[in-house]
Structure 1
Amino acid sequence: MASPPRRPVNPMEAAEALFKPMKKPAAPAQERRALPEVKELVSIKLDSAVLEHFQKDGAGWQDRINDALRAVVAAESE
């Protein structure tokens, strides 16, 4: 079975193909930054000893890890 030609053979079809509206290119994806002081959901791996240390006082252990990391960031920026 022969495949159809890529270019139109008929001059009228060729002219219409030239003036056919072009597709708009897709807009590039823009990375959205989180608002300051807004917590983002992430997944990290921690040593079991570190996790036990922060979990030993019960609920709120994720906030305690966040506070400890924030203190390190503040100390480095001084």
Structure 2
Amino acid sequence: MARRPTDPRTAAEAAFKSATTKPQERVQEVAAVPGRREQVTLRIDSEVLEFFQQDGPGWQDRINDALRGIVAKS
């Protein structure tokens, strides 16, 4: 981490540079492995969770399939 400038001119130049420099556009990263799943935290209603869990194991896959179907329609 760089130290803060101690003299006023350097501090002013640093402030001006940060105020006038355009932020770089964020490049969307492509997944290294196509179809790879990401671990996320998702808040959903308890009734929705119970619906998907009532058929037992594989409930996360069922939620993913439902979301994938919605994405395909849009």
Give TM class, smaller chain.
Answer: 0.5 to 0.7
Instruction: Count the aligned residue pairs.
Output: 48
Alignment of 1:49 with 2:62, yes or no, is no
Which of the pair is proportionally richer in helix?
Answer: 2
- TM-score, with structure 1 as normaliser: 0.54
Structure 1 residue 32, shift from structure 2 partner: 4.7
Paired residue type of 1:47: D
**Structure 1 unmatched runs, 5+:** 1-29
Task: Give 2:71's aligned residue.
Answer: 73
Cα distance in 2, alignment partners of residues 53 and 31 from structure 1: 34
Partner Cα distance (1:32, 1:73) in 2 = 20
Percent of aligned positions with the same letter in both sequences?
Answer: 55
TM-score normalised per structure 2: 0.57
| Larger Rg, first or second structure (1 or 2) | 1
User: Aligned-residue CA RMSD in angstroms?
Assistant: 2.0
Moved over 3 A (4+): 30-33
Query: Match of 1:41, as an amino acid?
Result: Q
Aligned to 1:24: none
Alignment-mate amino acid for residue 70 of structure 2: V
